[in-house]
A and B are shown apart, each in its own frame.
Chain A
Amino acid sequence: MTALLDQTPAARTAAAGGRPPRGRGRRIALPYLLLLPAVLLELLVHLVPMLVGLVMSFRKLTQFYIRNWSAAPHAGLDNYRVVLDFDSAVGRSLLHSFWVTIAFTAASVGTAWLFGTAAAVLMQRHFRGRGLLRAFFLVPYALPMYAAVITWAFMLQRDTGMVNALLGRDGPDAPFWLIGGNSFWSLVVVSVWRTWPFAFLIIMAGLQNVPRDLYEAAALDGAGWWRQFREVTQPLLRPVNQVLLLVLFLWTFNDFNTPYVLFGESAPREASLISIHIYQSSFVTWNFGLGSAMSVLLLLFLLLVTAGYLAVTSRRRHAHA
Chain B
Amino acid sequence: MGIATMASAAALTLVALTAVACGDGGTSAGGPKELLYWASNQGTSLDHDRKVLEPELAKFTRKTGIKVKLEVIGWPDLLNRILAATTSGRGPDVLNIGNTWSASLQATGALLPFDDATLAKVGGRDRFLGPCLAATGAQGKPPAAVPIYGQAYGLYYNKKLFREAGIDRPPATWNELIETGKKLTKPGQWGLTLQAGQVTENAHHAAILGAQHGARFFDGEKPTLASDPAADAIKQYLDLMQVHKIVNPSNVEYTDTAKSLKDLADGKAAMFMNQASAGSFEAVGMKMDDLGVAPIPLPDQPPPGGRRVNSFVAGINLAVFKNTRNLDGALEFVKFMTSTEEQALLNKTYGSLPTVKDAYTDPAFQTEQVKVFQGVLSGTAEPMPQVPQESQFETLVGTAMKSMFADVASGRTVDAAQIKARLAQADQQLAAGS
Contact = CB atoms under 8 A, between A and B. Distances in A.
A89 B433 contact: no
B7 A290 contact: no
A261 B388 CA distance: 29
A304 B89 CA distance: 37
A77 interface: no
B253 A158 contact: yes
A285 B396 contact: yes
Given A36-B8, A82-B432, A176-B253, A64 B107 contact: yes
A29 B108 contact: no
Interface string B361-403: 0000000000000000000000000001001100110110011
A67 B82 CA distance: 11
A1 B6 CA distance: 12
B199 A159 contact: no
21 contacts: A30-B4, A63-B104, A64-B107, A67-B89, A67-B109, A69-B87, A157-B250, A158-B250, A176-B409, A176-B410, A179-B252, A179-B409, A180-B409, A180-B410, A264-B255, A268-B403, A280-B395, A280-B399, A284-B395, A287-B433, A290-B432
Contacts of A285: 392, 395-396, 429-430, 433
Contacts of A134: none
Nearest to A66: B87
Interface in A25-47: 26, 29-30, 33-34, 36-37, 40-41, 44
Contact of B3 (A30, A62, A88, A290): A30
A283 interface: yes
B87 A67 contact: yes
A10 interface: no
A265 interface: yes
B83 A283 contact: yes
Contacts of A68: 109
A266 B104 contact: no
A33 B86 contact: no
Contact of B410 (A63, A88, A93, A179): A179
A185 interface: no
B53 interface: no
Given A36-B8, A176-B409, A64 B433 contact: no
Interface string A40-84: 110010000000000000000011101111000000000000100
Which secondary structure dominates chain B's binding surface?
helix
Nearest to A177: B253
A76 to B, nearest CB: 15
Interface string A9-22: 00000000000000
Nearest to A41: B14
Contact of B432 (A90, A269, A280): A90
Given A64-B388, A283-B83, A290-B433, 10 more contacts: A36-B10, A67-B86, A88-B428, A89-B429, A90-B428, A159-B250, A181-B410, A266-B395, A266-B398, A268-B403
B425 A40 contact: no
Nearest to A159: B250
Nearest to B248: A159
B249 to A, nearest CB: 8
Interface in A163-211: 172, 176, 178-181
B406 A29 contact: no
A215 interface: no
The 7 closest A-B pairs by CB, nearest first: A179-B406, A89-B428, A287-B433, A33-B7, A89-B425, A180-B410, A266-B399
A115 B432 CA distance: 44
A286 interface: yes
Contacts of B14: 37, 40-41, 44
Contacts of A29: 4
Contacts of A287: 432-433
A180 B430 CA distance: 25
B428 A33 contact: no
Nearest to A48: B18
Nearest to A272: B403
Given A30-B4, A66-B86, A285-B396, A179 B428 contact: no
Interface string B172-216: 000000000000000000000000010100000000000000000
A67 B110 contact: yes
Contacts of A266: 199, 395, 398-399, 402-403
Nearest to A265: B199
B15 interface: yes
B301 interface: no
A265 B200 CA distance: 11
A103 to B, nearest CB: 19
A278 to B, nearest CB: 14
Interface string A263-285: 01110110000000000100111
B272 to A, nearest CB: 17
Most buried by B among A30, A159, A179, A264: A179
